[in-house]
Homo-oligomer: A and B are copies of this chain.
Amino acid sequence: MPQGQPSVVPEDGLTTRQRRNRPLVAVHTGPGKGKSTAAFGLALRAWNQGWPIGVFQFVKSAKWKVGEENALKTLGASGEGGRVDWHKMGEGWSWVQRDDQQDNEAKAREGWEQVKRDLAAETYRLYVLDEFAYPLHWGWIDTAEVIEVLRNRPGNQHVVITGRNAPAELVDFADLVTEMTKVKHPMDAGQKGQRGIEW
C-alpha cells in the first residue's frame, strides 16, 4: 500500500524524521486471533533491521508458541539480523535460577521486574510482552506503574504488548493500538485447534 500521510502535523518541535523515529508502544488486544501472531510477525521486521529482540511470555500456556519460538531462535542464531532472547514464565523465567513454586502472580511480577531492568539497560530494541495484558487486567501488576516506566524508558526501545483485555489506561497511553475481532472461528463449527495453525 502507498505510504500514507499524517492527518495532523503536531506542533511538538520535532522534525518529521525525529517524529518518525520516536519509539512506539503498541498494543494488540481484543477477542480475535492474531494478537500474538502479529507481534511475532513484527519481530521479523525488527530482526531484519538487526535489532536485538526480547520476547517475554507472560502467561503459562498448554500450547507454548513453539513454532514462533523455534523460528525466532533460528533467525536469532542465523548470523544475520538481530539476536533473539526468549523468556518464558512458568517453566521458570530463564533468569530465575531455581523454580521454587512461586505462584503465577509472583512469577508475572518477577517477569515485569526483569523487563524494567532490561529497559533501564537498553538491552533490546524490540520487546514483545506476550499476553502481558492479562496480569495487568487481573491486577497482578500495576498498570499505572507500567505506563510510568514505559513513558520514561531511555533510548529507542519499541514495546509490543498483547492480550485480550488491555486496560483502558494502557490503550490511552499506547501509540498504536489494534483490536482483533473474532468474526468466525473454526471452533464455532466444532473444529478444535490444530498443529501448525494454532501453535
Contact of A199 among B21, B38, B45, B171 (CB under 8 A): B45
Interface residues of A in 184-199 (CB under 8 A from B): 184-199
Contacts of A101 in B (CB 8 A): none
Q: Are B33 and A47 in contact, CB atoms less than 8 angstroms apart?
A: no
**Assuming A28-B34, A197-B158, is B186 touching A176 (CB within 8 A)?**
yes
By size class, the interface of chain A is 35 or more
Q: What sequence of 0s and 1s flags, for each residue 66-96 of chain A, a beta carbon within 8 Å of any chain B beta carbon?
A: 1110111011001011000000000000000
Query: Which residues on the B side are within 8 Å of A4 (C-beta)?
Result: 187, 192-193
Please give, as numbers and ranges, the residues of chain B lying within 8 Å of A182 by CB-CB distance.
Answer: 177-178
Q: A174: CB under 8 A from chain B?
A: yes
Q: Please, how many angstroms separate the alpha-carbon atoms of A185 and B26 in the complex?
A: 9
Choice from B34, B126, B199 contacting A180 with Cβ under 8 Å: B34
